[in-house]
Amino acid sequence: MQGFLTLQEGKSFQGEASGTWEKPVEGEVVFFTGMTGYQEVLTDPSYKGQIVVFTYPLIGNYGINEDDFESGYPQVSGVVMMQCAEEAYHYQATTSLKDYLNKWNVPYLTEVDTREVTKAIRSEGTCQAVMAHETINPSDTKLVGQIFQASKSEVETYGNGGQHIAVIDFGYKGSIVDQLQEHGVRVSVVPFTQVQKVHDLQPDGVVLSNGPGDPKDAMKFLSEIKGVLEQYPSLGICLGHQVIALAYGADTKKLAFGHRGANHPVKDVQTGRVFITSQNHNYVVDDMSVADTVLEVSFNHVNDGSVEGLMHPSKPILSAQFHPEANPGPEDALWLFDEFFTSVNHKKGVQVYA
**Digit-coded pLDDT (tens) for 191-224:** 999 999 999 999 999 999 999 999 999 999 999 9
Q: Residue 19 pLDDT > 90, yes or no?
A: no
Q: Residue 348 pLDDT > 70, yes or no?
A: no
Per the model's pLDDT, the better-predicted residue between 129 and 141 turns out to be 129
Domain 2-132 fold is Glucose Oxidase; domain 1 (3.50.30)
Q: Residue 38 — pLDDT band, cuts 50, 70, 90? A: very high
Q: CATH number of the domain at 146-347, out of 3.40.1080.10, 3.40.50.11030, 3.40.50.880, 1.10.10.350?
A: 3.40.50.880
The pLDDT of residue 125 is: 85
pLDDT per position as a tens digit, 230-281: 999 999 999 999 999 999 999 999 999 999 999 999 999 999 999 999 999 9
Angle ∠(220,352,156) on CA atoms, nearest 5? 50
3-state secondary structure of 32: strand
Q: Residue 351 pLDDT > 80, yes or no?
A: no
Long-range CB contact pairs, 34-38, < 8 A, 24+: 34/261, 34/262, 34/263, 34/278, 34/328, 34/329, 35/262, 36/62, 36/262, 36/328, 37/262, 37/278, 37/327, 37/328, 37/329, 38/97
Rounded average pLDDT over 309-326: 97
The pLDDT of residue 350 is: 41
Of 5-14, 114-123, 340-349, the range with the lowest mean pLDDT is: 340-349
Number of other CB atoms surrounding residue 256 within 10 Å: 12
In 3D, which of 302, 82, 322, 60 has the Cα closest to residue 210?
322
The pLDDT of residue 330 is: 92
N-to-C CA span, the chain:
66
Q: Residue 332 pLDDT > 50, yes or no?
A: yes
Q: Residue 293 pLDDT > 80, yes or no?
A: yes
Residue 139: CB partners within 8 Å, gap ≥ 6?
26, 128
Cα–Cα distance for residue pair 229/152, rounded to 1 Å: 21
Q: Residue 309 pLDDT > 60, yes or no?
A: yes
Evaluate whether 102 touches 130 at the Cβ level (below 8 Å).
no
The pLDDT of residue 353 is: 36
Per the model's pLDDT, the better-predicted residue between 44 and 142 turns out to be 44
Cα–Cα distance for residue pair 353/150, rounded to 1 Å: 33
Residue 51: CB partners within 8 Å, gap ≥ 6?
5, 25, 27, 28, 29, 30, 76, 77, 78, 79, 80, 129, 131
Catalytic machinery residues: 238, 323, 325
The pLDDT of residue 193 is: 98
Domain with CATH 3.40.50.880 in the chain: 146-347
Per the model's pLDDT, the better-predicted residue between 342 and 351 turns out to be 342
Per the model's pLDDT, the better-predicted residue between 217 and 346 turns out to be 217
Cα–Cα distance for residue pair 260/279, rounded to 1 Å: 5
Q: Residue 20 pLDDT > 60, yes or no?
A: yes
Domain with CATH 3.50.30.20 in the chain: 2-132
pLDDT per position as a tens digit, 79-126: 999 999 989 999 999 999 999 999 999 999 999 999 999 999 998 888
The pLDDT of residue 140 is: 78
